[in-house]
Amino acid sequence: MSPSNLFAKFCLLALGFTLAPHPLTAAPATSAELIPVNTARSQMTLLVGTDQRLYQLAYGSAGNSPAIPAKTPGRDAEFYPQAGDGFLFEPALLAVHTDGNTSTDLRYVSHTVTALDSNVTLTRIELKDSYYPFHVALNLKTYRNEDVIEQWAEISHDEKGQVTLERFASSSPELPGGNYWLTQFHGDWAKEGQLAEEQLTFGTKVLDTKLGVRAHQYRTPVFLLSKNGPAREDAGEVYGGTLGWSGSYQFAFDVDPAGKLRALTGINPFNSAYHLARHQLFNTPKMFWSWSAAGKGQISRNFHRWARRYILRDTGQLRPVLLNNWETTGFNFNEPKLTALLATAHDLGAEVFLLDDGWFGDKYPRDNDRAGLGDWQVNPRKLPDGLGYLTQAAHQRDVRFGIWLEPEMVNPASELYHRHPDWVIGQLHREPQLQRNQLNLDLSRPAVRDYVWKVINDTLAPNPGITYVKWDCNRFVTQPGSFYLKPDEQSHLLIDYNWALYDIMGRFATNFPNVTAMLCSGGGGRVDYQALRYFHTFWPSDRTDPRDRVFIQWGYSHFFPACAIAAHVTRMNERPFKFTLDVAFSGALGFDLDFAKLSPDEKAEALAAVALYKNDLRPIVQQGDLYRLVSPYDGQRSALDFVSEDRSHAVLFTYQIASGPADTVKPQGLDPQRHYRIREVNLAVGTASRLPGQDTVVDGATLMRDGITPACTKEFDSAVIEFTAE
């Protein structure tokens, strides 16, 4: 033994550490082995090195399958890099073992590949520390036809005591060499889904949120990485990523000195150290990846098809047209008002009437946002005959009935808070900080979880006529403390909260399978593919001005299908009514306005629009493939089209957001060999189409090559154009 090693051994013994032989020190080198993870058009290639470590060789085209290299790659190519044992850059895992060792050395144990069905395959790779009984299982589930890879890690140990996890990424792939442009989607309340793009340079770019609950208020957990230039719609190599987590998350894009990019994605480790008991399993959230050689438009279509097939509830069902009372009444309503609105919903052709905030509270009535949250009894002064009366009244008018819930929250002015002030999230010795006059309930506390479930069950089970729920969440966490968790478990709070939330949401979806559900969080504060497993749609923003919604819906369309994006017709900023209708057509259509206050022409246009959407456009928009044609970020117009799966039917929307010339728009996704009849629809009362070629038949190849020129030149002009194969 060298003098330096003798000195190191002496120091460790002096500090009280017990030395034992390294189990793998004398282990013979093993043969290298490739582990390919394939979709139809992409492949992630992993390598078990001769040193038994797991490396990544490639992620990209399925046609570029690498061979086993002659030499084991460097440690910087590890697929799930660990801190403290030679890795120099951003690690995926940082664990503190029971003896205080802050290093981990994961080695390959085994892997299995299981075909779950003809399209879905799970590759599970078991890793173990070379010394400690510390285990990580990396799971990669592939959706072949949709070109999506789902990845997550399962961490456990058999050490005698608690291991502290200080970093625990869901995935950390290394992308092939090149220059990368990052596209993120940021915003704030009423300005969600805003697109921003920049080139990544040396160092680490971090996108994160520390809000804990409704954590997406300022940034949606999605991104695009475009290779060798800004992202284009229909060309170029692009990676898309989205994390299924409603809480605090972090994306760290680390460009090393050699120019290689590693993307670390998962729960934000800030204030989230997790003390893992012996045999306890820690699951990271699911991270979803897709790769395309045909631009970001293909990434979007990959995620849309995958979400419609595997994630969203009742993916084959068309989302109903609904009428919400909020913009008409606010908190100020009673049974006669609501009964009149039910008649309006029927006359409009809406399929659901949604009763929003304000229906509950007795001692502390919900007459404003300062009281009542937590007390989910029907307000007897507003609704003396209860919810049953309203559901029956809706049924008599052939309209489904829906209701608003915010079960995670409480007002200090409530009976619940007076009984259980320790049930809220807050900090010792600090005055409670209110947002929207409310506090978060602490879902890490079992009694709170039971109560929240009871709220949901007691509202829906006795009232089977309620077949729609809008689940809201109107504040994030500013004082992340629990009066239930032990002092050394306080950093568990925001992780335990979100897993508890999903458990409750899962019970809701399982116990009430016939209840359609909208996910809302003061707008787009909770938009991810874990929460969306339990919902049919989400409310993207409280900003319903159609001009702003062009940008908001454009942003969300990069990762979420139109069937999931609630798009309502309102009178915000009094935009032209046809423009408002046309913008709402490109999502899950709804209305939030006082139908009685519309002009006769507007009423006629609304009735015709609902009939057109339900009978003709809805299947194409909600189940078809999206092609973004003209970006609102590039000029005075936005345009997009949806194409049915069999390409027999398509609809194109164009929105003029500023005055300018009538430009040609080239539809995409049509069958070049088929012929399509062109018709402009949803015309304003008393107007005729000014579309050149109206009601003519043109082949798909010509339409996609030469395009069409809608007569839209003034701000708020819009057009809806159908293509029907003949």
Give the active site residues.
472, 542
Q: Which helix (H) or strand (E) holds 336?
A: helix 335-348
The helix (H) or strand (E) run that includes residue 169 is: strand 163-171
C-alpha to C-alpha distance for 439 and 370, rounded to whole angstroms: 11
- What span, in angstroms and rounded, lies between the C-alpha atoms of 256 and 173? 13
Owner of token pair 């004082």: 479
Residue pair 329/337 in contact by the 8 Å Cβ criterion:
yes
Nearby residues of 472 by Cβ (< 8 Å), 6 or more positions away:
357, 404, 405, 406, 520, 521, 522
Phi and psi at residue 84, to the nearest 5°: 95, 0
Question: How many CB atoms lie under 10 A from the CB of residue 248?
Answer: 24
Q: Tell me, what amino acid is at 518? A: M
* Length of the chain (residues): 726
8 A C-beta contact, residue 658 and residue 682: no
Structural contact between residues 542 and 523, judged by C-beta atoms closer than 8 angstroms: yes
DSSP secondary structure, 553-582, as one string? HHHHTTTS-GGGBEEEE--GGG--HHHHHH
Rg (the chain; Cα; Å): 28
Rounded to whole angstroms, the Cα distance separating 695 from 298 reads 30
The helix (run of H) or strand (run of E) holding residue 222 is strand 219-227
CB 219 within 8 A of CB 268: no
* Pick from 672, 622, 617: nearest CA to 649: 617
Residue with structure tokens 């030395």? Answer: 19
Phi then psi for residue 33, to 5 deg, are -145, 135
Q: How many CA atoms lie within 13 A of 367 on its CB side?
A: 8
Tokens of 532: 């969306």
